[in-house]
Amino acid sequence: MKLNKALAIAAVAGSVAAMSAPAMARDTISIVGSSTVYPFATVVAERFGTKTDYNTPKLESTGSGGGMKLFCQGIGTQHPDITNASRRMKPSEYDLCQKNGVKDITEFRIGSDGIVIASSNKADNLDITLEQLFLALGKEVPNPENEKELIPNPYKTWSEIDSGLPNVAIRVMGPPPTSGTRDSFNELALQGGCEDLPAVADMSEDDMEAVCQSIREDGAFIEAGENDNLIVQKLIDDEGMYGVFGYSFLEENADRLQAATLNGKVPTAEGIAADEYPVARSLFFYVKKAHVGVIPGMAEYVEEFVSPAAMGPNGYLKSVGLIVPPREALMNLQDKAADLPNLQKDELM
Amino acid sequence: MTDQRSQAEIVRQSLKQRYRKERRFRAYGIAAIAVALAALVILFADIIGKGYAGFMKTTLTLDVQLDGEMMYLDDASDERQLKMADFVEPLVQALIKEVPSATESDRDAVRDLINPYASVTLRDALKANPEWLNTTRTMTFLAHTDVDVYVKHAGDEAYSIKLSEQQQAWVDQLQEQGVVETSFNDVFFENGDSRDPSKAGILGAVVGSLLTMFVTLILSFPIGVAAAIYLEEFAPQNKLTDFIEVNINNLAAVPSIIFGLLGLAVFINLFGMPRSVPVVGGLVLTLMTLPTIIISSRAAIKSVPPSIREAAEGIGASKMQVVLHHVLPLAMPGMLTGSIIGMAQALGETAPLLLIGMVAFIVDVPDGFFDSATVLPVQVFLWAGSPELAFIERASAAIMVLLTFLISMNALAIWMRKRLERRW
C-alpha cells in the first residue's frame, strides 16, 4: 500500500509540475547577458529591490552573445526581459529577434569600459602604438625585410620592435578566449594595430580577421584565467610582466600599478568616456518592450539604472567602477527611459 | 630426506624476505591512507582558516537621534515621505559624535564607515515604529565592508585595506569605545545574496537547495524504487531487460552537464517551464539521481533471501503481496541508504544547473517551487568568482555549511544502515 501511495504522489506531483508551469505568471524581472555589465547591473538590481516594493530582479551572467540568444528567443514569461551586453547588438541578432516576434527593443548605452595594459609602477612603462602592440603579440607578423610576407612572430623583447621601447622580454598576461575582455582586446587593440599593415591589405575580411586576431602561442602571451586579482598579484611580484584587464581594475589598484600609453593616450575615465582612448568599448542593455507593463517593475528598474543616484557623477555605479556617461548623455538616457523608443536595424549597421 | 630438508630450508630462508615484503606492502597502504588524509586535512584547514572569519560580522552601535527636521520627515507613516526622506544624515551625525576628532568636513570619510544599506535598516525600523520619530534610539547597524575587512584582517598580507590612515585610527578608537564590535554573523544565515559582502547571506541558497532536493526526492525515490522492483521481481529475463539494465548502468556514469542540456531542451524549451526555478532544477537532478537509486535499490532487493519469498508464496501470498509485505520492507534500509547517497551527490551539483539558469544573482529568498532560486554550491561558485576579497571568506563559510549538510546526510545513511540492516 505504501508503494501505491508513493507512486500516486509522484504521478500527481509530476503532472502538476508539467501542467502549471507554462501558465505561471512571473513577477520578478529576469535579466541575462554580459559578465562585464553583471557587477553593475547586480548593484542596481539590489538597490532597486530595497528601494521599491518590487521583487529584486534575477540576473544571470551568460556573456553578451549568450544573452542575446536567450533574449531573442521570443515573447513570454519564460524568456528574459532585459539583456546586458559589452558590445552593440549585431544586425544578425536583431534579425533573430524580429523573426521570433521580439519586435520592439530599446537600447541603452550605459557607459564605457576601457581595456588597459598595465604593469607594476616600479617597472618600465610602455608608450606604444597599437601597431607595435600587434607586432609584440600577433601570432604571425610582417617580415621586417619584406613587409608583404607574414612570418611567425620573431620578436623576443620589446626593444627589438622599436629601440625606444624597454629592453625586456615580451611577457603579457591576459584573459582567456572565453572572456568578453579578450574579444574586445582582440578586436580593438590587435586588429586596430594590424588592419592597416600592407601584409593584410589585399586579404578578404575573414582572412584579415584571422591574422589580426590571432595571439602568439609561444609563451609570450600568458592566459591567466578570469581571475584579475591573480594578474595584479603577478604584476606586482614580477616587474617585467605586463597585464591586460579592464580599466576599473586599474583604478582599484592605482597605488600599485601604472598603465601603458597607447597611441599617445593614457587611459583616463574622461578619455574613455569620450572615446579618445583607442581601446574603449561601450556597455549596453536592451529592453524587451512587449514585457514592459506585463512584468511588474520593468519601467522602474530602467529608471533606477539611468537615475543620477546610480549613474550621476557621484552615483553608486561610479563607486563600483563604471565610467559614467557625461551629463548630456545621461539626460538623453532619461528621456529614453521615459519614451522607450524602438531600436531600428539601420542604427546597428 | 635431503630434498625435503632443503625445501624446508628454502622456505625458512625466504621467510625473512617474505615478511619484509609484507611489511613493505602494509607500509604502502598506510602511505596511501596518509596521503588521502593529508589532502583532507589541508582542504579542511584551508577552508576553515579562510572561512571562520565569515561567521563574524562587524557592527556599529550608535545612539541615533531621529530628528524629523534633519531627515525631512514629519510623519513616518506616510509612504511618500518615507521614500523622499534622508536616512543617512542621522547615522553620520551619530557617528561623528562618537569620534571627537572628526569634524563636519570629514563627513564623507565618516559616512564611508557605515554600511550603505544601514539607511535601509533605519528606514524599515521607522516604518515599523512611526512613533520613534524625534526620539533618540540606540541601534546596531552593519559596518561598511572595508571596516569589516580592516577589523578582521589588519596586517594580513592577502587583504588590501581600503581605509585611509585617518579612518583606521577612528576605527581603532571606536573599537576601544565599544562602538565597533564583532559578533556572530547572524546576517549570514538570515539574508539572501547581496553585492555587499557584509550583507550577503546563504538563506536564499539553503532554501533553494531544500526546495530542489524535495522535488528530487519526491520524484526520484518512488520512480527509482518502482523501476527496481519491476526489474528485479517481475521483469522476464530477456534481451530487452538486459538492454534496459545496460542503459541504466550507463546513465549512472553520464557527466551531469548532459542532464542539464536535456533539462534545458525538454523542460524549458519544449514544456515552456520558467528558468531558474527549483522545480526544473529538481527534475534535472531527478534524472541524474535515478540511476543511482535504481542500482542501489536492485542490490537491496537482491540481498533479500529467496527463502523469504518462497515462504510467503508457500502460505498462499500473491506475487504482489510477497513484494509489498515482505521483500520491500526488508529491502527498504538499503534503498534508503542508496537514495540518501544519491541525494547528497545531487546536493553538491552545479554543472547541470548552469544551463537551466540557476546560476544567477538572486537576492530574494525563494518562497515556492516556482520562485527563482539558486543552490548552495552555486552560491559558493558565485562568491568565489567575485572581485571583492571579503567574499572569499563568505565562500569558505558557505562551503563549511554545505559540508555540514553533506556530512550529516552521509552520517544518516550510515546510521540507518547500522540500525536497520538485517543479516541473514
Q: Where are the domains of chain A?
A: 25-112+281-348
Query: Hey, which CATH number is domain A25-112+281-348, 3.90.1150.10, 3.40.190.10, 3.60.15.10, 3.40.50.11540?
Result: 3.40.190.10
> pLDDT tens, A313-334?
888 888 777 888 888 888 999 9
A280: enclosing H helix or E strand: strand A280-288
Interface size, chain A vs chain B, as Cβ–Cβ contacts under 8 Å: 103
Q: Indicate if B222 and B155 belong to the same structural domain.
A: no
Tell me the C-alpha distance between B291 and B249, whole Å. 7
Kindly state whether residue B15 falls inside one of the protein's structural domains.
no
Neighbours of B204 (CB within 10 A): 25
User: Between B273, B279, B360, which is nearest A78 by CB?
Assistant: B273
Flag whether pLDDT at B347 surpasses 70: yes
Q: Strand pairing of A58-59 and A30-33?
A: parallel
CB contact (8 A) between residue B275 and residue A10: no
pLDDT of A6:
52
Kindly state whether residue B98 falls inside one of the protein's structural domains.
yes
pLDDT of A231:
81
Closest alpha carbon to B109 in B151, B169, B58, B154: B169
Q: Indicate if B342 and B266 belong to the same structural domain.
A: yes
Q: Indicate if B169 and B301 belong to the same structural domain.
A: no
CB contact (8 A) between residue B361 and residue A59: yes
Which residue would you say has higher pLDDT here, B363 or A318? B363
pLDDT of B389:
75
Which residue would you say has higher pLDDT here, B169 or B6? B169
Q: Indicate if B260 and B386 belong to the same structural domain.
A: yes
A262: enclosing H helix or E strand: strand A261-262
> pLDDT tens, A107-127?
999 988 888 999 988 888 889
Q: What is the mean pLDDT of residues A268-296?
A: 89
**A121 close contact with B: CB closer than 8 A:** no
- Chain A environment of B387 (Cβ under 8 Å): 39, 228-229, 249, 252
CB contact (8 A) between residue A13 and residue B218: yes
Tell me the C-alpha distance between B28 and B34, whole Å. 10
Q: How confident is the model at residue A23 (pLDDT cuts 50, 70, 90)?
A: very low
Question: Closest-CA residue in chain A for B272?
Answer: A22
pLDDT of B424:
62
Q: What is the mean pLDDT of residues B189-211?
A: 93
Task: Return the residue matching grid coordinates 524602438.
Answer: A342
Q: Indicate if B312 and B370 belong to the same structural domain.
A: yes
CB contact (8 A) between residue B276 and residue A30: yes
Q: Are A297 and A54 in contact (CB under 8 A)?
A: yes
Q: B337: which residues sit within 8 A by CB, 6+ positions away?
A: B296, B413, B416, B417
pLDDT of B2:
54
Task: Return the residue matching grid coordinates 598576461.
Answer: A173
Most confident of A7-11, A173-177, A215-219: A215-219
Q: What is the mean pLDDT of residues B123-127?
A: 88
pLDDT of B4:
65
Q: How many helices (H) and strands (E) does chain B have?
A: 19, 3
Which of B122, B151, B184 lies at the terminal end of a domain, its last residue?
B184
Tell me the C-alpha distance between A6 and B223, whole Å. 9
Closest alpha carbon to B146 in B110, B176, B121, B173: B110
End-to-end CA distance of chain A: 67
Kindly state whether residue B143 falls inside one of the protein's structural domains.
yes
Question: What predicted TM-score, i.e. pTM, was given to this entire model?
Answer: 0.80
Closest alpha carbon to B361 in A162, A61, A196, A14: A61
Tell me the C-alpha distance between B160 and B420, whole Å. 54
Q: Indicate if B247 and B132 belong to the same structural domain.
A: no
Kindly state whether residue B40 falls inside one of the protein's structural domains.
no
A-interface mutation test, from B354, B372, B383, most A Cβ less than 10 A away: B372
pLDDT of B130:
87
- Cell triple for residue B266? 525538454
Residue B381 region by backbone torsions, left for phi larger than 0, else alpha for psi between -120 and 50, else beta: alpha
Domain tally for chain B?
Answer: 2
Task: State the ipTM, two decimals.
Answer: 0.79
Q: Indicate if B220 and B277 belong to the same structural domain.
A: yes
Q: Are B69 and B83 in contact (CB under 8 A)?
A: no
Q: Could you tell me the CATH number of the domain that includes residue B260?
A: 1.10.3720.10
> pLDDT tens, A56-71?
999 998 888 889 999 9
Q: Are A124 and A297 in contact (CB under 8 A)?
A: no
Q: A43: which residues sit within 8 A by CB, 6+ positions away?
A: A316, A317, A320, B195
Mean pLDDT computed over every residue of chain B: 90
Q: Indicate if B215 and B341 belong to the same structural domain.
A: yes
Q: Indicate if B241 and B96 belong to the same structural domain.
A: no
Flag whether pLDDT at A180 surpasses 80: no
Kindly state whether residue B401 falls inside one of the protein's structural domains.
yes
- Cell triple for residue A190? 590587435
- Chain A environment of B115 (Cβ under 8 Å): none
Which residue would you say has higher pLDDT here, B78 or B360? B360
- Helical spans, DSSP H, in A64-170: 64-71, 91-99, 130-137, 158-161
Q: How far is A6 from chain B (nearest CA, A)?
A: 6
Residues 157-216 of B with CB under 8 A from A: 194-196, 215
Task: Return the residue matching grid coordinates 611567425.
Answer: A152
Tell me the C-alpha distance between B129 and B138, whole Å. 14
Beta bridge partners of A63: none
Q: Indicate if B173 and B230 belong to the same structural domain.
A: no
Flag whether pLDDT at B158 surpasses 80: no
Kindly state whether residue B212 falls inside one of the protein's structural domains.
yes
CB contact (8 A) between residue B364 and residue A28: yes
Q: What is the mean pLDDT of residues B20-26?
A: 95
Residues 69-98 of A with CB under 8 A from B: 76-78, 80
pLDDT of A248:
74
A-interface mutation test, from B225, B336, B361, most A Cβ less than 10 A away: B361
- Chain A environment of B271 (Cβ under 8 Å): 18, 21-22
> pLDDT tens, B38-82?
999 999 999 998 889 999 999 999 999 888 888 888 887 887 888
pLDDT of A8:
55
pLDDT of A17:
47
- Cell triple for residue B390? 571579503
> pLDDT tens, B239-292?
999 999 999 999 988 999 999 999 999 998 888 888 889 999 999 999 999 999
Flag whether pLDDT at A204 surpasses 60: yes
Range of the domain at B81: 56-184
Q: What is the mean pLDDT of residues B218-239?
A: 93
User: Between B218, B225, B324, which is nearest A9 by CB?
Assistant: B218
Q: How confident is the model at residue A1 (pLDDT cuts 50, 70, 90)?
A: very low
- Cell triple for residue A84? 546586458
CB contact (8 A) between residue A21 and residue B120: no
Q: Are B113 and B145 in contact (CB under 8 A)?
A: no
- Cell triple for residue B181? 564590535
